[in-house]
Every structure is written in C-alpha cells, then in structure tokens.
Amino acid sequence: MQDIVRSQSIAEVIRNRRSIDSFRPELPPRENILAAIDSARWAPNHRLTEPWHFYLCGPETRRAIIDLNAEITRAKSGDEAAERKRERWSRMPGFLVVTCDLDPNPLYERENYAATCCAVQNLMLHLWDMGIGTKWTTGDVTRDSRFYDLIWVDPLQEVVVGLLWYGYPAETPDSTRRPVEAIVTDLP
C-alpha cells in the first residue's frame, strides 16, 4: 500500500476547521475546488441517489448575487445596511452554491438533504486540508426565487442547501462546543 504523508489527521482536520468570515482576496485554483467536490460526492447517500449539485459562480453570477442580496437588504433595512452588505459580500472571494434534488416522497427528500449536508462537510473538510476556508450561508437571498433564476435552477426540481464562500483565511476564529458528557446518554 502506498504511504500517505499527512500533515493533519482526519480528526485534526475536523477539529480545526472553522467557518471563515475574513478572507485574503485571491481566488484558490479551480482544480482545488474540483478536488474537494470529488471528495464531496463520496458522502453516504441512501439508494445512491447522488442528490447534490455544485454551481461554481463566475464573476457575473457572483456580482448578480451580491446585487440581489443588497437589494433584499435595502427593502428590509434601508440603503445604509444594503451598502454595508454589498461591501462585506464583495470581500468574499469564491462563491459556490450547493443544491439538492427534491423528491415527491418526503422520506427520500429528507434523506437527500441529509446526504447533501454530508457532502458539504466533505467538501469543506477537504478544502480546509488544502488551506482553503469556507463559510456556509443560508441567508434570505438563498431562498429568493430570483436567486434560483440567477443560478439557472428550477425550484420545483432542486432546493438550495447553501451558498458557500471560499478562499484563503485572513483570520481563523475560535469556536466552542458543549462537552461530550453533555451530549452522550448511556442506555442499558
């Protein structure tokens, strides 16, 4: 078997990954994103439905999403808030949208969503292992019908699971979790 030299164990990658809010401006290479998508598709998925799809936003789509998000914010909170949002979102280097297939059977649809969330975690962990950070967002814009138009997705066929920003972290925040004892119950 080939020796694999790892800088971090899987447990370390899982433990060290953080949602990144502050990125360096440069866009990571496309092949790194495709490598992470390759890992994403190995997520467990019941009935092998492979329900996920990954939309890599080019500059035009990225700009249109930023504009739409500013417009939604303006309608809700006014001009100043909209400009703050525009400025913040314009600093996010990469935009990637993950969708999941809908299904007439509610159980299958729930399983598809669960599998796609596993795929997103695979994607984020592989990117993190390559030094690329992400932030998964499910803000209002991702549920707007105009967002679906922008990414050419039929909302009767697919649901947006998240918009992922990606890039090289400028800052890595800390995070906390409740202790294991607080979430484990021994059953007889």
Ligand X SMILES: Cc1cc2nc3c(=O)[nH]c(=O)nc-3n(C[C@H](O)[C@H](O)[C@H](O)COP(=O)(O)O)c2cc1C
Q: Which residues bind ligand X (CB under 6 A)?
A: 18-19, 135-139, 162, 175
Place of tokens 């006014």: 78
Tell the smallest beta-carbon distance from residue 186 to ligand X (Å).
Answer: 26
Nearer to ligand X, 30 or 81 (CB): 81
Q: Are 131 and 110 in contact (CB under 8 A)?
A: no
Tell the smallest beta-carbon distance from residue 19 to ligand X (Å).
Answer: 4
**CB neighbour burial string for 94-126, b if at least 16 within 10 angstroms, e if fewer:** bbbbbbbbbbeeeebbebbbbbbbbbbebbbbb
Tell the smallest beta-carbon distance from residue 163 to ligand X (Å).
Answer: 8
Place of tokens 């909302």: 155
Tell the smallest beta-carbon distance from residue 136 to ligand X (Å).
Answer: 4
For 6, 33, 77, 147, the CA distances from 89, given in Å and listed in that order, are: 34, 20, 16, 15
Nearer to ligand X, 29 or 131 (CB): 131
DSSP letter (8 states) at residue 43:
S
Nearer to ligand X, 18 or 53 (CB): 18
Tell the smallest beta-carbon distance from residue 32 to ligand X (Å).
Answer: 20
For residue 149, give both structure tokens.
């138009």
Q: Are 161 and 99 in contact (CB under 8 A)?
A: yes
Cα-based angle 130, 132, 134 (whole degrees, multiple of 5):
135
Cα distance between residue 145 and residue 129, in whole Å: 34
Nearer to ligand X, 18 or 24 (CB): 18
Nearer to ligand X, 29 or 170 (CB): 170
